[in-house]
Amino acid sequence: MIRTGKIAEVKKYVREWKRQGLTIGLVPTMGYLHEGHASLIRRAREDNDRVIVSDFVNPIQFGPKEDLAVYPRDFEADCKLCDSLGADLIFHPEPDEMYAPDACTHVKVDNLTDNLCGVTRPFHFQGVCTVVSKLFHISEADRAYFGQKDAQQLAVIRRMVRDLNFPIEIIGCPIIREEDGLAKSSRNTYLNAEERKAATILYKALKKGHEMIDAGETDAAKVKDTIRSIIGTEPRATIDYVEIVDRDELQPIETIDRPVLAAVAVYIGKDRLIDNFITGSLNEKE
């Protein structure tokens, strides 16, 4: 497996692969890889001739009071995992390789970023869209793979690709969970033993909400109230939001009469966790 932190090096290999007529799959990550990331890499390996994994903690998607400095990192472990899964190249740039000191260009998607995580993290998705658009250009990938756990991010990137005519297919992959239901996340490492146990309340609440919709409940307020009440039984949990929105437009709805995203953000102690479920298919072609 090729390791490089240089854009020019990535583009050199991409040119050769394209010359050979090979397809390329891209898995953008911020490193500290876990089984959720592994599922994306496996899917990319199945679909493409070559797989690029980007391993970059993107500074411009962190707010001033967020966890950039302490965000978990283990590049050697990431390389070992990627190699074992058959990735062809891991791209691990420094921030100054990705952003010139005087960089003043950003990519912003309106409307879809106005609620959910966009309320408390107003610059987050601008940072995500900017770095992802750069990675698309650098990799010239045919397909890119994103997890459903970051469902708002997935919807925002899909809209960016549509609006800006990127020649790339976006593949969403299901949430990978621990045995007790907790969604896999690099930030789970912040939780102590008691908080880790408390965090399972997110899945329990969402599971009940999903069951209500499957049973025919169409009143979004009732489903949200049930999810809130279950989370409220855990004293270590503080709700940031519980929302049910149109799956594609991410706007709040009152009646569940179309595919929806039910999403929660909850503080367990000081750590903010997100989770969700969707109704309908994750990808149009599946």
Antiparallel, parallel or unpaired: β 260-268 and 237-246: antiparallel
- Whether 2-173 shares its CATH topology with 186-276 is answered no
- Block residue for tokens 């921030």: 95
- 152 vs 249: CA distance, rounded Å: 10
The predicted model gives 122-139 an average pLDDT of: 97
Structure tokens, 161: 């690709």
Residues near 103 by beta carbon (within 8 Å), at least 6 away in sequence: none
Note the CATH architecture for domain 186-276. Answer: 2-Layer Sandwich (3.30)
Judged against a pLDDT cut of 70, whether residue 137 lies above it is answered with yes
In the predicted structure, residue 140 carries a pLDDT above the cut 90:
yes
Q: What is the chain's mean pLDDT, rounded? A: 97
* Cross-strand pairs, 69: none
Beta strands in 9-86 (DSSP E): 24-29, 50-55
Section 7-17 average pLDDT: 98
Question: What pLDDT, on a 0 to 100 scale, did the predictor assign at position 18?
Answer: 98
Domain limits of the chain?
2-173, 186-276
Yes or no: say if 252 and 245 are a contact pair by the CB < 8 Å rule. yes
111 C-beta neighbours (distance < 10 Å), count: 12
Q: How many residues does the chain have?
A: 286
Active site residue 210: no
Architecture (CATH level 2) of domain 2-173 = 3-Layer(aba) Sandwich (3.40)
- Active-site hit among 37, 92, 106, 124: 37
Q: List all residues 6 or more positions away from 155 whose beta carbon is below 8 Å from its beta carbon.
A: 112, 247, 248, 250, 261
Q: What is the pLDDT of residues 38-57, one digit of tens each?
A: 999 999 999 999 999 999 99
Mean pLDDT of 146-160: 98
In this prediction, residue 286 has a pLDDT band, given cuts at 50, 70 and 90, of low
